[in-house]
């Protein structure tokens, strides 16, 4: 793939419209997001694919980090971690708090949007 610095994995966003469309819960979207990352790492470990944490409320994102850890992925060891479902929020305060929470866990972050 040339000189790819990094690429994001496919993640399932956790905004209300997306949840309605899939009929799945935030927990299920997180499970599928983590599973996608694990599959990509297995299929192409040489590619710089970054994981993405998903959620809507602050505790959701912490739970997503836990899901990756339970699957054997220490997000603090990743060169970069994407943060999804933060760009369409009515308030930047919530996004800021989520990013602060994740940063305090030792994650190096890329905020989409």
Map out the domains of the chain as residue ranges: 7-111
Are 25 and 57 a contacting pair, CB within 8 Å?
no
Q: Classify 66 as helix, strand or coil.
A: helix
Asked whether residue 113 carries a pLDDT value surpassing 80, the answer given is: no
Q: In the predicted model, what is the mean pLDDT of residues 83-106?
A: 93
Are 71 and 100 a contacting pair, CB within 8 Å?
no
58 DSSP assignment: H
Q: Which pLDDT does position 30 carry in this prediction?
A: 98
Condensed to tens digits (0 to 9), the pLDDT of residues 46-77 reads 999 999 999 999 999 999 999 999 999 999 99
Asked whether residue 87 carries a pLDDT value surpassing 60, the answer given is: yes
Q: How far is CA 64 from the centre of its chain?
A: 7
Whole-model pTM: value is: 0.94
Q: Which pLDDT does position 3 carry in this prediction?
A: 84
């Amino acid at each position: 793939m040339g000189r790819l610095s990094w690429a994001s994995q496919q993640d399932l966003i956790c905004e209300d419209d997306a949840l309605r469309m899939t009929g799945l819960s935030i927990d299920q979207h997180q499970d599928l997001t983590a599973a996608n990352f694990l599959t990509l790492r297995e299929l192409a470990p040489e590619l710089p694919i970054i994981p993405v944490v998903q959620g809507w409320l602050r505790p959701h994102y912490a739970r997503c980090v836990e899901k990756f850890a339970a699957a054997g992925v220490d997000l603090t060891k990743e060169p970069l971690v994407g943060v999804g479902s933060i760009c369409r929020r009515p308030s930047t305060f919530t996004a800021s708090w989520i990013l602060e929470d994740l940063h305090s866990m030792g994650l190096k972050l890329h905020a989409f949007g």
